[in-house]
A = this chain, B = another copy of it.
């Protein structure tokens, strides 16, 4: 089949509205996307059947397919080459069925996370996944990348929130595994294959998501700590007193805190210099109980000397200001320009020595370079912002070695939540054994024998 026939056939499947070519494709992408968009051919299917027909055709024609959701990942997992076909999920954005008794919602993969969140507000229910890209990311992409975010400590990652899904395999076979129950042990849990595999094993088209009751009380605090041991102690202290209510436990090191509270920036909520700050949050269902309990627990932590200082915001505005200290990345990006960001994880007990090892190694090469750490300590997840002063490929690569290599000996992960994509695949063997990588390759070959789905992402096929 020549290219014209192929495109005609695609048009027959997805209709005139469903096919974009040439500049229509490239003009859709604003410049700030990390991903290169070389492809000049996009299909926008409106149904699972259309996805299935598109894939069957592509598989016959050995046509590579890159599925795109909100394009807000950070690892170039949706980057395209000139000869790739883009499969955009944007038209499959329906919320199909909300079941308030079973507390599940059936959605198409292209639903934007924030739209879903907002659609639930009146029901007293929440879909608890939340992350910075909420306004653009799609739930299908959240599933394909096993997204995390700030409330994993309480609600788990996307993998725990997806009860069922429908996916289309490379040959067009539709796998409908739309389970709605928390408990279902009827054979292999095959949805797990598609979760977190970054579009390399199938295209997720629909999902059953687990919903939770909307909490009605919210408490937060910013806390200063004298050392990292205290951070780890404070985590267990909070969790052993607030239990199921603890929903966030975010650490900021002095460097990050200093950047965001610098002259003309946010007002520092805590005076004095400390090596670590923590923003912690609890969500509950009765503020008459939860508010005084939260303050009492913080007071006890102060009295026991676990924390050095604490500030509890008294209004939504004050609470927002404290979260801004964590979520505003604008100053760190500008101060550390050219900027590199990392997302790694490790056992909590290894975090301090890891931060020291990375800092020492980095400073040995770039004495004037800057780096800072922040992260979801409760999940073992550190984000690292680095500015070595150079944007040269060699320097950037050397920084990557600085950050990733110390992970190997402590069983850490080169990607806590962002995935591998193209960005990290050269380092994957630091976090995974040869046998694991071979098993991944075996799965890929068995589920996508012609290798049409997102080729070259996560790992390269050997042989």
Contact = CB atoms under 8 A, between A and B. Distances in A.
Number of copies: 2
Given A185-B416, A243-B215, A173 B380 contact: no
Contact of A186 (B101, B173, B284, B420): B420
Given A181-B413, A446-B442, A459 B243 contact: no
Given A179-B411, A347-B102, A413-B181, A440 B187 contact: yes
A176 to B, nearest CB: 5
Contacts of A348: 101-103
Contacts of A186: 413-415, 420, 424, 428, 431-432
Contact of A381 (B145, B159, B183): B183
A459 B103 contact: no
A384 to B, nearest CB: 14
Given A285-B240, A286-B241, A413 B178 contact: no
A214 B99 CA distance: 33
Contacts of A445: 446
A157 B184 CA distance: 10
A201 B189 CA distance: 13
Interface of A: 99-104, 124, 145-146, 148, 152-154, 156-157, 159-160, 169, 173-190, 192-193, 195-197, 201, 213-215, 232, 236, 239-245, 283-286, 289, 293, 345-349, 376, 378-381, 411-420, 424, 428, 431-433, 435-440, 442-443, 445-447, 458-459
8 contacts: A146-B185, A188-B201, A213-B236, A215-B243, A243-B245, A244-B245, A439-B447, A443-B446
Most B C-beta atoms less than 10 A away, residue of A236, A243, A293, A349: A243
A447 B445 CA distance: 12
A180 B187 CA distance: 26
A180 B347 contact: yes
A436 B213 contact: no
Contacts of A349: 99, 101-102
B347 A187 contact: no
A416 B181 contact: yes
B241 A244 contact: no
